Each structure stands twice: as C-alpha cells, then as structure tokens.
C-alpha cells in the first residue's frame, strides 16, 4: 500500500469561551455567544475546551487532550446553544474515571431526554465542563422531572441547576438505575438491550453510540457470571432481544446461556476491539444495528486507550450524520481491518460527484489519540472518487 500524504492544510476553527456565561436578568436567547477566531491564546483556549479545531474536507477533529475536553467539545458541536431551540433540555454529569457509568449513561442522549454527557474529575468540575455547562445552559427536561443536570454516580453538586441523581453501589446497579430512568422518561421499556463486558472497556465502547442513537440500554456483565442487577434489569424488559457485544474472551458462552433464559440472544463479535467495532457497524437485525455496508454515512473514530471517549462522542452518533463508533488501537497507524472497512464503504460516482453520496468522520482526541497523519489517511478513504477507482488503497486527494 502506498503511503498517503498528510493533507496540505488543516482548517483551524476556534470557538472561544469568552462570553458564554449569563448575567442575571439576561434573556437566554440574546446573551453573547462565542466568537470565531484563530489567534494565540484564544485558539489554545478553544483547544483546551475540546471544540473542533482541525478539519479536512471529509473529517472534523474534536481535539481534546482528554475525555473531559472531548465531551465538552462534542456537546457544543451538537448543541450550538445560540438560541433556546438549540440548547439541550438537560445534560448528564458523570465521573470521567467511571467508563462503565458513562457508557451506560449514553442512552440518555436518545429521545426523549436528549442529554449530552459532561464529565467531573476527582470530585470536581473541570473548567472545560463548567464552561460548556454555562454555554449550553440546559433549559430543563420535563421527562427528567424538570432537571437540567442528571447526575450519574459519584459526582459533585452543581450549584444553581435543578438536578436529579442516579446512583448504584456498583457498575451493574448503576446501569440498571440508568435503564430504569430512561424507561420512565420514555414511558415504556425498550424491547432490545445490549450486554457488554464490565472488564474489557474496548469491547464495550461501540455500544455508547448506538445507545445514544436508538435508546437501547447498555448493561454490563462479568466474563463468566451474570450479575444479579443486570439479570433483574433485563427481566424488567420482559423477554427482550439481547445483543451481546464482544467475543467469548470478553463475555463467555456461559453468560450467553444464562441470558437465554431472559430473552433471545445474538452475539455481535470481532476477535479484537477494532474488528469488534467494525462487526457492530455492519450488523443489522430488523430495527437493531447500523447495517453499514455501503457509502453515505457518518463515522466517529476514537482510540481504545480512552474508553470514556466513547461516551464523550456518543452525541455525534445521535445527531447530524448519525454513525457508528470505529476504533483504532494505535494513535499513529490505521489498523488494516479498519482501512479495509473504509475501502468497502468508500463513496464513488460515475458521472457527477455532486449527485453522489458522502461519508464524514469525526476524529476524537488530540494527536496522542489519533495523529494528523492518520486523520489524513481517513480523510482520503472517506473521499468520493470515480467509480472505477473506488476501493483502491493507493488513491490520494
């Protein structure tokens, strides 16, 4: 395979944090909003907040140094908050150290609550979270009891906001509480659930985007034992379709056998996290699954080393160019299976590209997660090309 050159230029888009707050008495629809610029400290401030800072023709990067910043950036990308209509009704506040709680809470981005996630860290609200919360200024969700902030797990109080709390003594109980809350908000339980590993985060990560898009809950299991809270949560769905995400090395056949007493079970699996995410992206069973086997889709790209990024990026799978989370396990190299999948779904045209379909990718994290060179390679693989060139590994823009 020929090496792909980095894009000739990356477009810097800096959304400034200045003016995001609200003075008492301000009309929330008329307050000052972030300006756009690319200079010095202003650009750095935007990068620290995780706002989209680099774009190629087919990709946009939310370049946070950590999931805290990425969550703030993704929330702001989905909710511009320039008016009441473009503000979220609620946001989720989760602990960045608890990837299980965060992935389970991704379901709250689905209808009807539509709450993006923000993160606390070490029992405090980081500046990126505080700034994003002030800018988003959630209006309050009727389905969440009027709450502006849904506090998931052990997180700090949020002064001046109406809150509701979801707690659990362990990841299984917390996921069950989130599921029950979502069912109450919807007025009904889902007839589909995802069961993922509580011990292998990279295999569980793709569940976050689907939960945010479809509203199907994510529940967790040990490799060889189905926890009581998970079993009880599934039982409340009354014989649902159960989708086990991950291979037997993550969720054993013993657990699958136990799940069959609670509903019909299908396993979606790849031998490693990269292939597992691709398998989920391709999977389709009636209304469940992305079913992506052709061009014309959005994609989200994250690194397996940052599992909380799955929840941070989940809103991007549930808005705009809805699409699955795909994974890399190497910041500086695009895995062969992922490259092959992108070649399979690369757009092509016969006469006029204007009449074609297009792919777009969100790149999650800074250079330590996915380098600019890899972003450039993804950009080339997402590019629409003449039909006779579609699927070639050596094309470059």
3-state SS, residue 61: strand
Which pairing describes strands 91-95 and 117-120: parallel, antiparallel, or unpaired? parallel
Query: Which residues fall within 8 angstroms of residue 173, CB to CB, at 6 or more apart?
Result: 229
- Asked whether residue 4 carries a pLDDT value surpassing 80, the answer given is no
Distance CA 3, CA 233 (A): 49
Q: Secondary structure of 69-133 in the HEC alphabet?
A: HHHHHHHHHHCCCCCHHHCCCCEEEEECCCHHHHHHHHHHHCCCCCCCEEEEECCECCHHHHHHH
Q: What is the pLDDT of residue 391?
A: 60
| pLDDT bracket for residue 390 (50, 70, 90) | low
Q: What is the pLDDT of residue 351?
A: 85
pLDDT tens digits for 249-267? 999 999 999 999 999 999 9
Give the global pTM.
Answer: 0.86
| pLDDT bracket for residue 269 (50, 70, 90) | very high
Choose between 350 and 303: higher pLDDT.
303
Mean pLDDT in residue range 109-127: 98
pLDDT tens digits for 137-180? 999 999 999 999 999 999 999 999 999 999 999 999 999 999 99
Q: Which secondary-structure segment (H or E) carries 68?
A: helix 67-78
Rounded to a whole number, what is the distance in angstroms from the first to the last CA of the chain?
15
Q: Which secondary-structure segment (H or E) carries 377?
A: helix 372-382
Mean pLDDT in residue range 372-385: 95
Q: What is the pLDDT of residue 386?
A: 87
Q: Please give the torsion angle defined by the CA atoms of residues 124, 127, 133 and 136, in that order, rounded to the nearest 10 degrees.
A: -170
- Asked whether residue 231 carries a pLDDT value surpassing 80, the answer given is yes
Can the peptide bond before residue 112 be classed as cis, meaning omega within 30 degrees of 0? yes
| pLDDT bracket for residue 2 (50, 70, 90) | very low
299 alpha-carbon distance from chain centroid: 10
Mean pLDDT in residue range 55-73: 96
Q: What is the pLDDT of residue 103?
A: 98
How many residues can be counted in the chain? Answer: 397
Distance CA 245, CA 194 (A): 7
Cβ-based neighbour number of residue 29 at 10 Å: 11
3-state SS, residue 179: helix
Distance CA 273, CA 281 (A): 12
CB contact at 8 A, 118 and 155: no
3-state SS, residue 349: strand
Q: Rounded mean pLDDT of the chain?
A: 88
**Directed axis angle between helix 127-136 and helix 67-78, to 10°?**
10
Q: What is the pLDDT of residue 192?
A: 98
- Asked whether residue 369 carries a pLDDT value surpassing 60, the answer given is yes
Distance CA 215, CA 71 (A): 19
Mean pLDDT in residue range 111-140: 97
Q: What is the pLDDT of residue 208?
A: 98
- Asked whether residue 39 carries a pLDDT value surpassing 90, the answer given is no
Q: What is the pLDDT of residue 14?
A: 29
Query: What percentage of the chain reaches a pLDDT higher than 90?
Result: 80
| pLDDT bracket for residue 218 (50, 70, 90) | very high
| pLDDT bracket for residue 355 (50, 70, 90) | confident
pLDDT tens digits for 195-213? 999 999 999 999 999 999 9
Query: Which residues fall within 8 angstroms of residue 266, CB to CB, at 6 or more apart?
Result: 241, 242, 243, 244, 285
Choose between 9 and 100: higher pLDDT.
100
Query: What percentage of the chain reaches a pLDDT higher than 70?
Result: 84
Of 278, 300, 289, nearest to 344 by C-alpha is 278
Distance CA 338, CA 278 (A): 7
| pLDDT bracket for residue 186 (50, 70, 90) | very high
- Asked whether residue 16 carries a pLDDT value surpassing 50, the answer given is no
pLDDT tens digits for 299-349? 999 999 999 999 999 999 999 999 999 999 999 999 999 999 999 999 998
The answer to which of 250-254, 289-293, 382-386 has the lowest mean pLDDT is 382-386
């Amino acid at each position: 395979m020929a090496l792909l050159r980095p894009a000739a230029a990356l477009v810097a888009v800096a959304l400034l944090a200045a003016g995001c707050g609200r003075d008492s008495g301000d009309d929330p629809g008329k307050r000052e909003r972030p300006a756009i610029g690319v200079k010095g400290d202003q650009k750095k401030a935007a990068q620290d907040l995780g706002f989209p800072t680099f774009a190629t023709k087919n990709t946009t990067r939310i370049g946070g140094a950590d999931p805290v910043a990425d969550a703030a950036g993704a929330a702001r990308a989905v909710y511009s908050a320039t008016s009441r209509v473009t503000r979220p009704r609620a946001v989720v506040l989760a602990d960045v150290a608890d990837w299980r709680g965060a992935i389970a809470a991704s379901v709250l981005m689905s209808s009807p609550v539509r709450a993006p996630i923000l993160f606390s860290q070490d029992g405090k609200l980081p500046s990126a979270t505080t700034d994003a919360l002030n800018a988003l200024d959630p209006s309050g969700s009727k389905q969440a009891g009027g709450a502006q902030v849904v506090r998931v797990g052990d997180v700090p109080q949020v002064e001046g906001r109406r809150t509701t709390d979801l707690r659990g003594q362990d990841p299984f109980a917390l996921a069950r509480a989130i599921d029950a809350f979502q069912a109450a908000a919807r007025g009904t339980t889902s007839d589909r659930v995802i069961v993922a590993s509580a011990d292998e985060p990279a295999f569980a990560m793709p569940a976050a985007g689907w939960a945010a898009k479809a509203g199907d809950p994510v529940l967790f299991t040990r490799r060889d034992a189905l926890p009581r809270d998970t079993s009880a949560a599934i039982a409340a769905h009354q014989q649902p379709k159960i989708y086990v995400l991950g291979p037997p090395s993550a969720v054993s056949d013993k657990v699958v056998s136990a799940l069959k007493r609670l509903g019909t079970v299908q396993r979606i699996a790849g031998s490693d996290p990269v292939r597992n995410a691709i398998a989920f992206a391709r999977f389709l069973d009636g209304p469940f699954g992305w079913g992506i086997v052709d061009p014309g889709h959005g994609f989200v790209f994250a690194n397996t080393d940052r599992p909380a990024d799955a929840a941070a990026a989940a809103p991007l799978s549930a808005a705009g160019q809805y699409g699955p989370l795909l994974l890399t396990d190497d910041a500086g190299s695009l895995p062969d299976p992922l490259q092959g999948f992108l070649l399979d779904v690369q757009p092509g045209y016969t006469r006029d590209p204007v009449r074609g379909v297009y792919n777009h990718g969100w790149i999650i994290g800074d250079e330590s997660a996915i380098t600019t060179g890899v972003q450039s390679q993804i950009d080339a693989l997402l590019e629409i090309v003449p039909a006779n060139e579609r699927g070639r590994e050596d094309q470059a823009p």
